Structure 1
Amino acid sequence: MYVGVPKEIKNHEYRVGLIPAAVRELTVAGHQVFVENDAGAAIGYSNEDYEAVGATIVQQASDVFERAEMIVKVKEPQAEERALLRPHHVLFTYLHLAPDAPQLKGLMDSGATCIAYETVTDVHGRLPLLAPMSEVAGRMAVQAGAHCLEKSMGGSGMLLGGVPGVAPAKVTIVGGGVVGQNALAIAVGMGAQVTVLDRSMDVLRRLDQVYSNRITTLFSTREALESSVVHSDLVIGAVLIPGAAAPKLITREMIKTMAAGSVVVDVAIDQGGCMETSKPTTHSEPTYVVDGVVHYCVANMPGGVARTATQALNNATLPFVLQLANKGAQQALLDNTHLRNGLNVYRGEVTYAEVAEARGMPFREALDALQKG
């Protein structure tokens, strides 16, 4: 198969779809890989590194799309990239379509086969291609939140872990999944006073067993959420409904109750955000203030640690990339139900129920679409 790796063009996005080690696996298996000029240069992967493992360097994105059958990316295709997609293309990347009507329309109009990393599953019902970036984002959320608490960033001027004789900051983490667990590990490690809310008692029990009396666990009711938010110096939104728009659990009224200089970090912003006051920001302009509260809502947080994030992502995606290349997308999707769960758009139709529901569009089962396609 001809596999293409374009350079990411989203604001301050330095990750790359395939690193040289992954390209080597493809070329050894007999596939041809086209990599856009300097696609990985920003994180230390030169054109020469790619050529050494058998890739062909092309000068611009249009060359990648023209030559490749499968496009492997990191972030959702931007408007100019969507214009290059054709019906014969297989797109494999993060899509986050539920809150993004223009992207969904563009992908449907292209006729391409569009597989989203974030909805591919495993035998345990987990999301193996979302997990590594959730791990990174969860850890970064505390790091970013701590920085935003600094006075020069508009925060209250509080050190997250405090010092002897001075109380630490109060941190609330909404959601005990992969993002929440990784945020929790860093927040506890930095010495913060942490409360975690979730609606799964199994999740809360596991966290309590690990951290014991070092954290507070609460079943997430509206009352518990309101009480926690109002007393927090830092709130981290770590809510996920796979493939669907994030629920707006933290209301504008809750934000108003927080002290001036408090900080919120909405890690769910890729799925529309879990706070009513959230809107996507970039690494260039990461924050804004609503009712005196600093909001950090960067939509590609892991891009800030692009080398680590790229390596972690490739570890997870490579087995699926090889399946798609070795078998062809049609057969690979038919053979592997977990990969098939990643199929969001196929030949102009929406094939992921939560995306269709979020956008109020017709839905077709992925298996049905593939068998009749």
Structure 2
Amino acid sequence: MKLGFIIPNHPDEKRVALLPEHIINFENEIYIEKGFGLNLGISDYEYENKGCTILTKEEIFKQCDGIFSLKNIKECDYDLIDNGKIIIGWTHPHGSGKSFMQNVAIPKDLLVVDLDNIHPCLFYKNSEIPLDWIPKNFVYQNSFIAGYASTIHGLMSHGLIPNQDTKVAVLGSGNASQGSYKAISLFNVNVRMFYRKTMDEFLDNISDFDLIINGVEIAPEMPPLIDEQHKKLIKKGSLIIDAAACAGRTIAGSKHTFHNEPLYLEDGIYFYAINNSPSIFYRESSKFISESFSKYIYSKNLTIYKSLCENK
């Protein structure tokens, strides 16, 4: 079958999700959008030399059975998607891709593969099918980089070099939190990590901290970790870095920010919540994404997704 790769149409997204060095024994024919690797200085010829075919974006949508887009396909390209196609990437059907699922994927009978790091699944019609051959945390490095990048970029955007007088709270113990902890540990700061079991202690002392770094994701149906009442207790002038980019859920009322405006000020508190922060270190994150996705996704015949839907 034919698997096509398009350049993600997302602000400041520089990651290249497939590197030529990882194209080994793929079971699908590979088609690459012209200029796909330019952010890393990779020419179209380098992909052609690995057996890929270079096409325009429109030709990929038309000719390929499966379409890979690292980020959600934008509305301007919806008309290019034919019925029955396989859409692969970080599709977020329960989050930012919910509208796409309801308005495009279900009406067009699309097979939508969401490469969530913990629960990768195939979405078809109203069914959600786990991809059991993909291990949990199969691309944990990207989440680690999210924590590291958000922390470094958040500090730079705020013009802050923290020191021994800076009291820091890092929330969570997952990949993003670990990346944040590594980054903040580069500075001589007074830092504490809080886990779900010790979150009450953090909330009781929330007014002590100058910098709060969140690495926890909260499901849409769950109450926020930091509610409006606790937000009012945060010290004025503090910086909150949401490395999990779980805007509006982990921290009540918070909003996503962007590379050109990474911070906003509200009630005397500065907020940072960029949802593609690994793209800040796009060279490193591209390598990890390409290697992991090639092993578990790109190399597999697309018929595997068709077979999972046969009885749905």
Q: TM-score when scaled to structure 2?
A: 0.85
Question: CA separation in 2, counterparts of 1:301 and 1:170?
Answer: 23
Taking only the aligned residue pairs, the percentage that are identical comes to 20
Q: Which residue of 2 aligns with 1:220?
A: 199
Distance 1:92 1:294, change over 3 A: same
Q: Which residue of 2 aligns with 1:80?
A: 76
Q: Which residue of 1 aligns with 2:10?
A: 10
Correspondence for 2:63 among 53, 64, 67? 67
Is structure 2 residue 99 aligned with structure 1 residue 97? no
Q: TM-score when scaled to structure 1?
A: 0.72
Q: Which residue of 1 aligns with 2:124?
A: none
Unaligned runs of 5+ in 2: 121-130
Aligned length: 298
Match of 1:88, as an amino acid? G
Distance 1:326 1:63, change over 3 A: closer
Is the Cα contact below 8 Å between 2:147 and 2:176 reproduced in 1?
yes
Distance 1:225 1:185, change over 3 A: same
Is the Cα contact below 8 Å between 1:169 and 1:234 reproduced in 2?
yes
TM-aligned CA deviation for residue 323 of structure 1: 5.1
Unaligned runs of 5+ in 1: 151-157, 201-218, 335-369
Question: CA separation in 1, counterparts of 2:221 and 2:31?
Answer: 34
Is structure 2 residue 267 aligned with structure 1 residue 291? yes
Is structure 2 residue 149 aligned with structure 1 residue 140? yes
TM-aligned CA deviation for residue 110 of structure 1: 3.0
Distance 1:36 1:245, change over 3 A: farther
Match of 2:94, as an amino acid? A
* Secondary structure of 2:77's aligned partner: helix
Is the Cα contact below 8 Å between 2:145 and 2:278 reproduced in 1?
yes
Is the Cα contact below 8 Å between 2:168 and 2:211 reproduced in 1?
yes
Query: How large is the RMSD of aligned CA atoms in angstroms?
Result: 2.5
Structure with the bigger percentage of helix: 1
Q: Map residues 1-373 of structure 1 onto 2, 5 A cutoff.
A: 1-22=1-22, 24-25=23-24, 28-29=25-26, 31-59=28-56, 61-100=57-96, 101-105=98-102, 106-118=104-116, 119-120=119-120, 126-129=136-139, 131-150=140-159, 158-160=160-162, 162=163, 167-199=164-196, 219-221=198-200, 224-240=201-217, 247-269=223-245, 273-322=249-298, 324-325=300-301, 327-331=303-307, 334=308, 370-373=309-312
Match of 1:146, as an amino acid? L
Match of 1:269, as an amino acid? A
